[in-house]
């Protein structure tokens, strides 16, 4: 007889951790399986740490709804549990005349998504707020900010554990097979291969989430779940730029990302990035030849930047459903009823704003799990 558990969560990134905390609160028997030696070693620790307002995404998309809800939950969580953050505000800048219409569109879009505090800025208003930025106009988002994502991850982990969730590190999920209304889940750890039975499986496997769906025999191509890896690299600016801006400064968005932006960390360090380059493999090395691209892109709105002041920092990889040149794709958060796998919940394509949306995603998944146990 195999051991039976209620809920198996695959992945201990911010989404798996937040979901474990949410579900364990409902007193269910929750296990989190993580292939790495500890939590948060992949995308959740390789990002901009920005609390996004929810401006960019189509109205009624999960990205828009869960970002707006997640932002407010996250600020409350940080306040209540002393997780460091700063509501810096953010300005999207139009470096030339042609980009002004894009700011107006973003203003409209943000409003539709429930981001009600946006303000269009003239060149003079922008200059008053950010004297070192050269641009024709700006869009101010006062509710954007940055947070200490590592402390958030540790907090979610310890709360999930306190509520009874159990974490199994160094353990990779390698098979998911239907066993009546449940699943036989195969795992591999340093002692070999073993299996257990789970009533519900929640796939929070980030860059591997399409492969997990495939393990459960979902035709990933047909379901539209194939992930494309899109690398985002960062360069830091030397300490002489410490106070060069007070807010996050973003260019108008690109097709695959938010554009190379300027962020100021909680420690005051200034960072540029990320860019957006589709890649075939997971490799976190920063390509130094990108330095000039970063420099040219930043120079458009931060003229004081000098090429020699840029140093390669780190990279992350976006798990994107949207391939190169393709149209917007939303998060997939689905109970796989149509695949006759009703208690498999897949979370696929959880790229930005996944960190911001994490508490709202956890609630969303928590409700799905509750329905399965009703």
Ligand X SMILES: Cc1cc2nc3c(=O)[nH]c(=O)nc-3n(C[C@H](O)[C@H](O)[C@H](O)COP(=O)(O)OP(=O)(O)OC[C@H]3O[C@@H](n4cnc5c(N)ncnc54)[C@H](O)[C@@H]3O)c2cc1C
> Which residues inside 13-32 make contact with ligand X, applying CB under 6 A?
13-16
* Distance of closest approach, residue 125 Cβ to ligand X, in angstroms: 25
> Under the criterion CB under 6 A, does residue 277 sit at the interface with ligand X?
no
Residue 162 CB neighbour total at 10 angstroms: 10
Q: Total residues at the site for ligand X (CB under 6 A)? A: 41
Interaction pattern, residues 66-95, with ligand X; x per rule: CB under 6 A: ------------------------------
Beta strand pairing status for 85-86 and 145-147? antiparallel
Q: How many CB atoms lie within 10 A of CB 143?
A: 20
Residue pointed to by tokens 């109970």: 335
Nearer to ligand X, 93 or 248 (CB): 248
Q: How far is the CB of 236 from ligand X (least distance, A)?
A: 14
Query: Taking contact as CB under 6 A, which single stretch among the options 107-115, 237-245, 289-297, 316-324 is the one that binds ligand X?
Result: 316-324
Concatenate the DSSP letters of all residues of 27-94 into one string: T--EEEE-SSSSSS-SGGGSS--EE--S-SSPTT-HHHHHHHHHHHHHHHHHHHHT--EE---EEEEE
Among 47, 109, 290, 322, binds ligand X (CB under 6 A): 47
**Minimum distance, C-beta of residue 336 to ligand X, in the bound complex (Å):** 17
| Beta carbons of 206 and 319 less than 8 angstroms apart | yes
Q: Closest separation between CB of residue 47 and ligand X, Å?
A: 3
From the list 35-43, 132-140, 191-199, 300-308, the region that binds ligand X by CB under 6 A is: 35-43
CA nearest to 169, candidates 361, 47, 17:
17
- Write out the DSSP string of 340-367: TEEEEEEEE---TTHHHHHHHHHHHHHH
- With respect to ligand X, which residue has the nearer C-beta, 137 or 187? 187
Q: Which member of 9, 140, 355, 362 binds ligand X (CB under 6 A)?
A: 355
Only one of the segments 1-9, 92-100, 157-165, 205-213 lies at the binding site for ligand X (rule: CB under 6 A); that segment is: 205-213
At residue 83's C-alpha, the angle toward residues 157 and 67, to 5°, is 80
Omega into 58 within 30° of 0, i.e. cis? no
Give min distance, CB of 89 to ligand X, in A: 15
Does 210 bind ligand X (CB under 6 A)? Our answer is: no
Neighbours of 128 (CB within 10 A): 10
Residue 44 sits in the site that holds ligand X (CB under 6 A): yes
Residues 133-192 that bind ligand X (CB under 6 A): 172-173
Q: Looking at 6, 21, 28, 48, which residue binds ligand X (CB under 6 A)? A: 48
Instruction: Count Cβ neighbours within 10 Å for each residue of 211-241 and write b for 16 or more, e otherwise.
Output: ebbbbbebebeebebebbbbbbbbbbbeeeb
Nearer to ligand X, 127 or 226 (CB): 226
- Binding residues for ligand X, rule: CB under 6 A, are 10-16, 33-36, 41-44, 46-50, 52, 172-173, 204-208, 212, 232, 274, 316-318, 350-356
């Amino acid at each position: 007889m195999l051991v039976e558990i209620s809920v198996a969560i695959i992945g201990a990134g911010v989404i798996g951790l937040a979901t474990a905390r949410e579900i364990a609160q409902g007193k269910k028997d929750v296990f989190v399986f993580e292939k790495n030696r500890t939590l948060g070693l992949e995308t959740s620790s390789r990002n901009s740490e920005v609390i996004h307002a929810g401006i960019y995404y189509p109205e009624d998309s999960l990205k828009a709804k869960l970002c707006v809800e997640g932002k407010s939950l996250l600020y409350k969580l940080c306040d209540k549990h002393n997780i460091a953050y700063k509501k810096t505000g953010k300005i999207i800048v139009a470096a030339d005349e042609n980009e002004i219409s894009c700011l107006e569109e973003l203003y409209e879009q943000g409003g539709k998504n429930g981001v009600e505090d946006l303000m269009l800025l003239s060149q003079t208003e922008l200059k008053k707020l950010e004297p070192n930025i050269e641009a024709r106009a700006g869009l101010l988002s006062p509710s954007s900010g940055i947070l200490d994502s590592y402390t958030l991850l540790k907090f979610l982990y310890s709360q999930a554990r306190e509520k009874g969730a159990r974490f199994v590190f160094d353990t990779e999920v390698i098979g998911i097979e239907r066993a009546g209304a449940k699943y036989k889940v195969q795992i591999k750890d340093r002692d070999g291969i073993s299996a257990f039975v789970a009533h519900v499986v929640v796939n929070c496997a980030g860059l591997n989430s399409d492969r997990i769906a495939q393990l459960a025999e979902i035709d990933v191509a047909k379901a539209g779940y194939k992930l494309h890896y899109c690398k985002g690299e960062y360069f830091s600016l030397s300490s002489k730029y410490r106070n060069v801006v007070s807010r996050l400064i973003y260019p108008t968005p690109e097709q695959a990302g938010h554009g190379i932006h300027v962020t100021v960390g909680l420690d005051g360090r200034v960072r540029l990035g990320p860019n957006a380059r589709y890649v075939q493999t997971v490799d976190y090395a920063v390509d130094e030849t990108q330095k000039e691209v970063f420099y040219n892109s930043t120079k458009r709105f931060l003229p004081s930047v000098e090429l020699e002041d840029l140093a390669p920092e780190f990279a992350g990889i976006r798990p994107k459903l949207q391939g190169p040149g393709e149209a917007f794709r939303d998060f997939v958060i689905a109970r796989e009823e149509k695949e006759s796998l009703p208690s498999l919940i897949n979370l696929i394509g959880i790229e930005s704003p996944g960190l911001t949306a994490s508490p709202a995603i956890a609630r969303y998944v928590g409700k799905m799990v509750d329905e399965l146990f009703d």
